[in-house]
Structure 1
Amino acid sequence: MCTVFQNSNIKEPDDLIAHLRAAHHPRLYGTAGCETWSVRFSPGGSYFAWSMGYGIVKILPWPVTHKDANDANSEEKTLDCKQTVWALAFGPCPSNRVDAFHQNRHKHELLLATGLNNGAIQVWAVSTGNLLFTLTGHQALVRDLVFAPNGSLTLVSASRDKTLRIWDLAKKGANLHVLKGPDYWIFKCSISPDSSVIASVCNMDSKIYLWSLRSYTFMRHLTFDHERTMVSCDFSQDGALLAVASYHSTTGWWLDLWDPYTAVVLTRVEDCEMCAYRSDNLLTSVSFSPVGLLLAFKDYRALHIWDVERDELVTETDLNRTGGVCCSFHPHGGVIATGCRDGHVKFWRVPRLVPSLRHLCRVTLRYSISTYQVEALPLPKKILEFLTYRDVPKQKSLHCKEHCS
């Protein structure tokens, strides 16, 4: 069902590791059904899941090799979901902050949840590729799925029916909680590293919604000052930053870093000034690396990776206009996968940057305490600015390779 291209005669960028392409080619470019809407690595990094179009999901052992793609006896699994697959999520997701003993007391097998076009969520066993059960309730397609990063089987789903639903998969969806409020399709959601807050964004709503995962209630809005289409959101590994991607068809895209505690925009990255008025260059995905302070964002022009700590663009690759729609980091860093509208998946090498000791101290501290608690500490102003990410430049404009002077 898939082909891996490695070390072929085709000239590829030096940072391209592997290239997966579905055996069933698109009938016509732009025809719906063939898109790779979601790519995901398992929490331990040993598996990769690929929504390869036409209702088919592949689970491949990582690292992907040419043998894995063609050997019938390999660990590769093919899931026939019989509906367009918009979202994928591996679970449970263990937390690096929780004692291993407490996480393993109720150890669960590795699962893969798939969000379908008909509103259903299918839950599969990764080890066998068998369908375990199906969750129903959403009235429109499931656009995003994410497991709580605390080792539990709590699954959050976002749908075009304008709701978020919280499922307990340990009880096959029992104790369901429905979060209502938005007036538009919910595109993406993200859970804070301490599993206390859910952030969600809607397509035509100029607000970010923050929800409590502990009380299942609405907390607050993070509001923009003008109309835009919201695309994606993701928390940093300490939960002190929330990256939000958005665009407007006539003025380009924006990538904003918010403080979710104080509702303050800390910095804004804008599209290249020369490309900003191209209606075909839309921001489609954003993702924080689980290692260091790298932030990846994908538009129709390229994949960009920004080192927020050093304030520099360390990668600009995948320079094509085939319509990249998603990206996902490997949990150990070093690799990022991108999926496209033509059904392809590419794996790119990520620069291995060693986080500074002071950043690691900041992450450890900020995981446990809020911005307000930090500001109350009797510390020098510069240290407080560092701990609250106020030392990040307020605004920057991205300059693409095509127009960089």
Structure 2
Amino acid sequence: MDGSTDCSPQRAAAESLLLAKLIPNRSRELDCKSGCETWGVAFSPDGSYFAWSQGHNIVKLIPWPLEDHKISYKSTHHFKADGRAKGQCGEKIIDCGQTVWGLSFGTSPSENGNKSSENQHKCTLQCSGTILATGLTNGEIKLWKVPTAHLLFKLKGHQSVVRCFAFISNENFMLISASRDTTLRVWDLKQDGKLLHILKGHNQWIYCCAVTPNSSMLCSVGGGKTVLLWSMVSYTVIRKLEGHGGDVVSCEFSPNGALLATASYDTHVIVWDPDTGESLMKLRHCSTFAALDVDDGFSTGFVRAVSFSQEGLNVTSVADDGLLRIWSLDLQRPIYVAPLANGLCCTFSPHGSVLATGTRDGHVKFWIVSRVLPTLQHICRNALRRVMTTHQVMLLPVPKKIKQFLVYKKF
């Protein structure tokens, strides 16, 4: 199933995909200067806020959805009070004091319907609800209350850029941070960010980390073609995935946890079975797209970011060739291709109908994504794979073809 390529994709009309733009409220001359990049974009878990690292130390916390999707949005824009969800505040400007490289929302267990225990009392008072984590150039992590943008506390220990986060919000409330100092760190947010573990396994920069929906497994990716899978019980490496030919810079698990997508400077996105370590498919980004009339100064297909759709049927990738692609895993080819110069990151809204992308000039674009109506078979597979590993599925007394479908050998 390897070797899929997008050399002749059917290109979607960009105008029909583009929903809105966020433009920094600053001089356009600053867009070309170092530090202006949007390295992170994120939606809150309930979909009521959007966070945007617009460069020059600033993060914008914005009520979602935007008031008007038909015009470009600037930071001076005001929201209609009657257009906000209950309890929703207006836009907040957060000055982090350093360039922001990592950005992520997390929600405490009490907000997820779990009863707080006595040892969670302090967390309930201080950091219950939704928080925003920001990773900075100097290795510092700052946690902010949403929606007030109040600084909760700072986490110190990393010796270099903090690039990515993963939250665990089951009966625990923990934050995992990934840094260029080659380590991952596990922080207990119930104890004001007490450092629990330092995970060492990389020997070069760590670019990204992600955790499965059931919080049982962690993936971390970095330089030297490295993809590591960690147990979140023992905090040890389960396996190393081999297959990329360059630095691996992005990773994400599918919503049911049965698939893992990784993106690399080798111009490939690989979709894996994290339970077995098997490569299920390779999605290759071509290095030239003259047929698409794209000329943005790039001659490589270095992939910067990857993200699963909410149904788990599509994967979106952003690459240095100036294109945004939405891939069908069933067809193993792009079903949408649109120009996106200088793209650095991408993420889907919780409801899956909007894709946000950040760029090197500090801008954000939102794209309408037609949601795929899943088949009954896919719904059943999703439900099963949320609670069963590949090994457990293979032990089921069902026909071989059904097993192949359930373990994504057949889509």
TM bucket normalised to smaller: 0.7 to 0.9
Any conservation in 2 of the 1:92–1:151 contact (CA below 8 Å)? no
Tell which deviates more after alignment, 29-38 or 79-88.
29-38
1:6-26 CA-to-partner distances (Å, cap 9, x unmatched) read: xxxxx9712211111001135
Paired residue secondary structure (2:271):
strand
Q: How does 1:53-72 map to 2 (within 5 A)?
A: 53-65=55-67, 69-71=76-78
Distance 1:33 1:26 in 2: 13
Paired residue secondary structure (1:368):
coil
Distance 1:374 1:169 in 2: 35
The answer to which structure, 1 or 2, has the higher relative contact order (CA under 8 A, 6+ apart) is 2
Q: How does 1:218-257 map to 2 (within 5 A)?
A: 218-224=237-243, 227-248=245-266, 253-257=267-271
Choose which of 201, 207, 210 in structure 1 pairs with 2:226: 207
Q: How does 1:39-188 map to 2 (within 5 A)?
A: 39-65=41-67, 69-71=76-78, 75-92=90-107, 101-102=113-114, 108-148=128-168, 150=170, 152-188=172-208
Q: Give, in angstroms, the shift of residue 261 of structure 1.
A: 1.3
Matched, 1:381 2:400: yes
| Cα pair distance change 1:71/1:227, threshold 3 Å | closer
Distance 2:21 2:315 in 1: 22
Q: Give, in angstroms, the shift of residue 279 of structure 1.
A: 4.0
- Amino acid in the other structure paired with 1:229: D
Alignment match, 2:378: 359
Tell which deviates more after alignment, 175-184 or 330-339.
175-184
Matched, 1:303 2:324: yes
Matched, 1:314 2:316: no
Any conservation in 1 of the 2:59–2:95 contact (CA below 8 Å)? yes
1:243-268 CA-to-partner distances (Å, cap 9, x unmatched) read: 011123xxxx0111111111111111
| Cα pair distance change 1:33/1:151, threshold 3 Å | farther
Give TM-score, length-normalised by structure 1: 0.85
- Amino acid in the other structure paired with 2:101: W
Q: Give, in angstroms, the shift of residue 30 of structure 1.
A: 4.2
1:84-141 CA-to-partner distances (Å, cap 9, x unmatched) read: 000111111779xxx9643677762211110001000001111211111100000001
Choose which of 346, 356, 369 in structure 2 pairs with 1:327: 346
Any conservation in 2 of the 1:26–1:34 contact (CA below 8 Å)? no
Distance 2:32 2:129 in 1: 38
Matched, 1:343 2:362: yes
Q: Give, in angstroms, the shift of residue 70 of structure 1.
A: 2.3
Q: Give, in angstroms, the shift of residue 281 of structure 1.
A: 3.2
Tell which deviates more after alignment, 177-186 or 287-296.
287-296
Distance 2:228 2:180 in 1: 15
Distance 1:222 1:164 in 2: 18
Matched, 1:258 2:272: yes
| Cα pair distance change 1:147/1:100, threshold 3 Å | closer
Any conservation in 2 of the 1:43–1:94 contact (CA below 8 Å)? no
Alignment match, 1:4: none
1:53-105 CA-to-partner distances (Å, cap 9, x unmatched) read: 0000000000112598423996111100010000111111779xxx9643677
Paired residue secondary structure (1:353):
coil
| Cα pair distance change 1:145/1:101, threshold 3 Å | closer
Alignment match, 1:395: none
Query: Identity of counterpart residues, as a percentage?
Result: 45
| Cα pair distance change 1:103/1:352, threshold 3 Å | farther
Paired residue secondary structure (1:27):
helix
Distance 1:19 1:42 in 2: 19
1:136-187 CA-to-partner distances (Å, cap 9, x unmatched) read: 0000010101212537421110000000001111211125211012110000
| Cα pair distance change 1:371/1:172, threshold 3 Å | same
Distance 1:94 1:349 in 2: 31
Q: Give, in angstroms, the shift of residue 32 of structure 1.
A: 0.9
C-alpha RMSD of the superposition: 2.5
Any conservation in 2 of the 1:149–1:191 contact (CA below 8 Å)? no
Any conservation in 2 of the 1:92–1:152 contact (CA below 8 Å)? no
Q: Give, in angstroms, the shift of residue 374 of structure 1.
A: 1.1
Any conservation in 2 of the 1:149–1:193 contact (CA below 8 Å)? no
Any conservation in 1 of the 2:31–2:362 contact (CA below 8 Å)? no
Q: Give, in angstroms, the shift of residue 29 of structure 1.
A: 5.6
Any conservation in 2 of the 1:292–1:353 contact (CA below 8 Å)? no
Any conservation in 2 of the 1:211–1:219 contact (CA below 8 Å)? yes
Paired residue secondary structure (2:15):
coil
Distance 1:28 1:175 in 2: 37
| Cα pair distance change 1:12/1:22, threshold 3 Å | farther
1:216-275 CA-to-partner distances (Å, cap 9, x unmatched) read: 222111112x63121111111111111011123xxxx01111111111111111113645
Tell which deviates more after alignment, 112-121 or 66-75.
66-75
Q: Which runs of 5+ in 2 are unaligned?
A: 1-12, 82-88, 291-297
Distance 1:76 1:28 in 2: 22
| Cα pair distance change 1:351/1:275, threshold 3 Å | same
Distance 1:32 1:287 in 2: 26
Q: Which runs of 5+ in 1 are unaligned?
A: 1-10, 393-405
